[in-house]
Amino acid sequence: MTFDAVTVAMLKTAIWETFYMVALSSLFAYVIGLPLGIVLVVTDTDGIYPIPWLQKILGLVINLLRSVPFLILLFIVLPLSKIVIGTRIGSPAIVIPLTIAAAPYIARVVESSFREIDAGVIEAAKSMGASTWQIIWKVLLPESRPSLLLGAALAVTTILSYSAMAGFTGGGGLGAVAINYGYYRYEPGLMWIAVILLVVMVQIIQEIGTQLSKKGDKRIR
């Protein structure tokens, strides 16, 4: 392994690619997953606006999507990237399968955060005449904020590890470096560097999530 300017530049590009793949996918996945998580909780039989059939169907679809291994989902979804973005290789193309894989996962993470909220608090809001929307905006979301932030750290690190797999299908980022150099070219040195950079990124994301969650949590004296 030679540590020249070219290698450094390549690693820098890879870090940036990983960063924006993960950031964009996380953003899009939350845009889809957060409302789905809300629907899962709100429309449940004992929820604040029960629509049991919708809840069941949504739960089923989410489970189906979650049971497809990511690598296989990649192959299934990449033709869609070709249509939407115009290419099936490179980092932008990976954002679509990443979003599709992460959204149902996020829906479940968000669901479990909401379920932690004491039913009594929701009942109190109802007793004041709060509407379903008011309960979602003023009780569910703010009261579960610390748990949602921890869930976000979990979701983003999972998306990061998924993004590394995209190296197999011609996606960019640190995963591609590890696969192309370490696996195909037998340059374990560069592979280890990519892996260490991924580990560092996971640590940073987790730490940010934990700290934000703790700082904002008013349940701690």
Partner 1 sequence: MALEEPIIRLRNVGKEFKTANGPVVALEDINLDIERGEIFGIIGLSGAGKSTLVRCINMLETPTSGQVIFEGENLAAQSDRQKRMARRSMGMIFQQFNLLAQRNILKNVCFPLEIAGVSRQEGKKRAMELLELVGLADRAGAYPAQLSGGQKQRVAIARALATNPKVILCDEATSALDPNTTKAILALLKEINQTIGVTVIVITHEMAVIEAICDRVAIIDQSHIAELGTVSEIFSEPKSRIGRQLILGDAVNQVKFSDSRQLRIIFDGRESTEPVISNLVLACKVPINIMYAATKDINGTAMGQMIIQIPEDETDANRIINYLKSIQVPFEEVTKNDI
List residues near partner 1 by CB under 8 A.
Answer: 118, 120-121, 123-131, 134, 138-139, 142-143, 145-146, 216-221
Length of the chain: 221
**Rounded distance, CA 166 to CA 140, Å?**
35
* Helix or strand run (H / E) with residue 34: helix 5-42
Closer to partner 1 at the Cβ: 79 or 216?
A: 216
Pick between residue 79 and residue 142 the one whose CB is nearest to partner 1.
142
Q: Which is nearer to partner 1, 69 or 129 (CB)?
A: 129
Compute the least distance from the CB of residue 110 to partner 1, in Å. Answer: 17
Query: Is the Cβ of residue 62 or residue 152 nearer to partner 1 in the bound state?
Result: 152
Question: Rounded to the nearest whole angstrom, what is the least distance from the CB of residue 118 to partner 1 in the complex?
Answer: 7
Nearer to partner 1, 63 or 134 (CB): 134
CB-CB contact of 58 with 130 (8 Å) = no
- Collapse the DSSP code of 71 into the 3-class scheme (helix H, G, I; strand E, B; otherwise coil) and give the result: helix
Shortest Å distance, C-beta 111 to partner 1: 19
State which residue, 82 or 126, has the beta carbon closest to partner 1.
126
* 165: amino acid identity, one letter: M
Q: Produce one character per residue of 71-84: b if its CB has 16 or more CB atoms within 10 Å, e if not.
A: eebbeebbeebeee
Q: What is the dihedral of CA 64, 65, 70, 72, to 10 degrees?
A: 70
The minimum distance between CB 95 and partner 1, in angstroms, equals 33
Residue 45 CB, shortest distance to partner 1, in Å, is 11
174 near 164, Cβ under 8 Å? Answer: yes
Smallest gap from residue 218 Cβ to partner 1 (A): 4
Torsion, Cα of 53, 56, 59, 65 (10° steps): -90
CB–CB of 153/210 below 8 Å?
yes
